[in-house]
Amino acid sequence: MRKKALPLALAAAAVAAIAIPGVSAVATPDKATPDKATPDKAAPDKAATPDTVRWGPCPDKAAAPRLECSKLDVPLDYRDPDGRQIEIAISRLASKEPSKRRGVLLTNPGGPGVTGLDYPALLAASGLPRKVLDSYDVIGFDPRGVGRSTPVTCDLTPEQQKRGNFPPYAHTAADVAREAGNARTIAKQCATSRTASMLPHTTTANTARDMDRIRAALGRPTLSYLGGSYGTSLGAVYTTLFPERSDRIVLDSNLGPGGYDVTAKRSLARGLEDRFPDFAAFAAAHPKYGLGTTPQQVTAKFFELAKRLETKPVDGIDGTAFRGMTLDLLYSDATIPSLAGNWQALDKGRPLPSKPPKHPENSMASYLYVVCGDSRWPSTVREYQRNVAVDRLRYPMLGGSTAGIGPCAFWPDKRVEPPVHIGDRGPSNVLMVQNERDPGTPLAEARKLRQAFGKRATMVTADQGGHGAYPFGRNTCANDAVTSFLTTGQRPPRDLACAAG
């Protein structure tokens, strides 16, 4: 039976502003020019060898009894492949039909900072079709720096963890300047932590190289891939660096070609406004919540509650946390009633019936390592003040937060390579799938990635809301297109718009 709720792992890219938000803030720009993304030479192909991985029980065997786990050593710095090695934890949900198996399907649920070790089992429980499960050994992994893969830290205090990676909603330029001190402190903690030596090397490009090491260790000449949210950026980088080793690449809920950069962070404000009408219609149609009887009244209630909670928080939820919680619980249709119930409780000054998730320090730290290390971010307070002024007017629900300043503004300038440039060089083997009203990765950004891929990609859009289309959404047209591609290699002949239903 298909699980209707979007897995929390996939949603973790924006898991409430109080935890792991969609993007943090900003890093010191460097003078490097974008990489033209010729195929990567850092990781030699060792696929001629048979599968050398020794599989055994997973850490939480009871939760996913069919999963097997192992670990793989990879270089910390691919410029020095024989230097320091770190561990990558991997998992396998083996095909029950070896005669039908055509290869491996590597998966990633998003993030950054999210464990993916149990993701194959979660996909199977959430409706990944049997013919896909028969066609592949489905592989999960914890990306470098995350979970059981040589974890990183920023030595974040409990209070810093509670505040999360979203800056407080800024109503004035002074609010931005005030938050700069907190951002600077966290950046310094990351740069002086016991894992600071991993800072320059905990990047999407190096995680993509780790993926190729996984492929080689499994004895496969190519790999197929299913990635959601931030996982679309990881997949895009992999198939750019290793085009000839990419088989069937599925990217679901797509970031723009810049990955989790300052544009992606700011786009969360647009994503909330794209998605919010679905909630407003639901709340208006269910007057028992007392949030209004028209979408306009529900919208007004949002701003009323945000203002009131800024002055007097309820159950630990202030105005910023309220905005982030609203974004988070709009990631899935299944959590919309929970959001309405939380609003109702906050409106009446009562404890929340459904508590926001808590996230470990490692998740927040590894998130910062990647987003701050991958991209160029504005480095002056004044630029964030300008961005906040623009986005607060353009997207008033969330723009005053997502355009704000964070630790990346003060990140140490230790970049060892320029960002990977996503382009149209390589085989035509990418299928993008995208919900039209996605709060975490808006359609506008997905269209930019589609344009960057050119002839390499085909995109399927689904007239539905939420973050994560396959296999979690209900749109049969979109789901069937992805299943067909993974099992037969056939994509729609051109970009496909799937009607609701």
Amino acid residing at 29:
P
Task: List active site positions.
Answer: 229, 438, 467
Interatomic CA distance for residues 260 and 199, integer angstroms: 16
Interatomic CA distance for residues 397 and 392, integer angstroms: 8
Interatomic CA distance for residues 267 and 261, integer angstroms: 10
Interatomic CA distance for residues 369 and 272, integer angstroms: 25
Q: Please, what is the angle between helix 230-241 and helix 204-217, to 10°?
A: 70
Structure tokens at 235: 């997949």
Interatomic CA distance for residues 398 and 265, integer angstroms: 11
Tracing tokens 């028209």 back to the chain, one arrives at 294
Q: Which residues pair with 433 in a beta bridge?
A: 252, 460
Amino acid residing at 485:
F
Interatomic CA distance for residues 109 and 51, integer angstroms: 24
Other C-beta atoms closer than 10 Å to the C-beta of 284 total: 18
Q: Residue 62 burial by CB count (10 A; 0-12/13-18/19+): exposed, middle or buried?
A: exposed
CA 338 to chain centre: 22
- To the nearest 10°, the Cα dihedral for 75, 77, 80, 85? -30
Q: Contact at 8 Å (CB) between 168 and 178?
A: no
Other C-beta atoms closer than 10 Å to the C-beta of 1 total: 6
| Pairing assessment for the beta strands 85-93 and 136-141 based on DSSP bridges | antiparallel
Interatomic CA distance for residues 78 and 186, integer angstroms: 27
Q: Which residues pair with 497 in a beta bridge?
A: 461
- Angle value at C-alpha 347, between 346 and 348, nearest 5 degrees: 90
Interatomic CA distance for residues 9 and 307, integer angstroms: 30
CA Rg, the chain, in Å? 22
What number of helices (H) and strands (E) belong to the chain? 16, 10
Can you tell me whether residue 43 is helix, strand or coil?
coil
